[in-house]
Structure 1
Amino acid sequence: MTEYVLEHGMAGLSLRPLADGVGVTHATLLRHFASKDQLLAEVAEHLRDGLARELDSHADPTGTTSIGDLARGLWHTLCDPRHQRQFLLLFELAGGRGNGGLDPRSLSTSLVHSWLAILIESLTAEGWSRADAVSRATLFLAQARGLQLDLLITGDRARVDAAFEVSLELLTP
């Protein structure tokens, strides 16, 4: 289901073509999801969980890798065109295109607060005060997402990668 939504986006998404596309009946979809909004919320959560697993896969169990090195590794993974589709869908969700009635609190938890928590925890572990960690994590996350959008629009990987490297300075004590 997530793959179908990633391929087709949210704009104009209808349950009947979705059911056909994933090989189930419309009734089956309705049994599992009370509404299109619930389906989209679960797709967004699935994507967030996948991105969190991706972040975990870059974690160094010895704790010797800096947050900057981890962020760099994750950035290069997420710039892969397959992962960029996820960001495109998340931008659609955040922009309200086609989400009809997704709970904004759920969306902010999935797209912002869960990522901030990971960054804040890492920054405080590296010695930043909580207040500084919150500010830096917020700015870094906003810059990374902006750069991801820039990359989606322009395809200028070298320029965007260079800007990402500059943004990593926010994570350096």
Structure 2
Amino acid sequence: MPRTPDPVKREDLLAAVVEYLESHGVNDLSLAPMAEALGTSKRMLLYYFGDRRGLLEQALDASRPKAGNIFRDVTTADGLERASMTLWRALTRGEQQRSVRMLLQVLSLATTEPDTYGDFAKTAIALMLDPITAAFRSTGFTAKDSAARATLIVSGLRGLCQDLLISGDRARVDTAARLMINAAVRTVDR
């Protein structure tokens, strides 16, 4: 009778996998070097995650920015602005900062390797867009305008994250983030 996977060990291993991918990237993911670096075996990675794709899928899911929690109770323009700035801080200073590098890699790879990374990228975008779009809707914007404004927030912050990672110019990029968020939230054509 096969052993049941230990959920605590699986969670610990998943956290180590995410940390490894955040440091080493996802492009040339090979299980053997990862297993060696994590002090485990390729067989154990396969045991807990199924295959390379399953491992990548679970790692990406565990590391995605959690916009839903941030935008859940937003009902006002001020709330939208605060939540958007909270998301920005989480992506650039807080708990989600490290996952941004991996997310940007996956999104970039999806343009050249859509069969491998396209679904991951689409899911990542939807998981950010959906709660932010819902927050705009709850403040009174139309469905179409809400989707466009949420896209501005998600794509704008993603681009600014990339700029910050490359330039390191926090003051300039923080100012740009505030301006972009204010423009998305405060424009009055409802």
Same fold per superposition (TM over 0.5): yes
Q: Is the 8 A contact 2:90 2:97 kept in 1?
A: no
For 1:130, which of 139, 143, 146 is the aligned residue? 143
For 2:80, which of 54, 67, 77 is the aligned residue? 67
Q: Is 1:92 paired with 2:105? A: yes
Which structure has more RCO (C-alpha within 8 Å, separation ≥ 6)? 1
Could you tell me which amino acid in structure 1 is paired with residue 149 of structure 2?
R
Q: For residues 70-129 of structure 1, what are the alpha-carbon distances to aligned partners after superposition, in whole Å with 9 as ceiling and x for unaligned?
A: 1112212221276333111111111118978535234302x1112111111100111101
Match of 2:6 in 1: none
Could you tell me which amino acid in structure 2 is paired with residue 77 of structure 1?
A
Could you tell me which amino acid in structure 2 is paired with residue 144 of structure 1?
L
In structure 1, stretches of 5+ residues that fail to align are none
Match of 1:170 in 2: 184
Q: For residues 48-73 of structure 1, what are the alpha-carbon distances to aligned partners after superposition, in whole Å with 9 as ceiling and x for unaligned?
A: 2xx21x752x4586967611111112
Match of 1:47 in 2: 63
Greater displacement, 144-153 / 82-91: 82-91
Against the structure 1 CA distance between its residues 63 and 70, is the aligned structure 2 distance closer, same or farther, given a 3 Å change threshold? same
Q: For residues 108-164 of structure 1, what are the alpha-carbon distances to aligned partners after superposition, in whole Å with 9 as ceiling and x for unaligned?
A: 02x111211111110011110111101111122111110010001001000001111
TM-score by length of 1: 0.84
Match of 1:24 in 2: 40
TM-score by length of 2: 0.77
Match of 2:4 in 1: none
For 1:105, which of 119, 135, 140 is the aligned residue? 119
Aligned Cα RMSD in Å? 2.6
Aligned positions, number: 168
Match of 1:140 in 2: 153
In structure 2, stretches of 5+ residues that fail to align are 1-16
% identity of equivalent residues: 27
Q: Is the 8 A contact 1:119 1:137 kept in 2?
A: yes
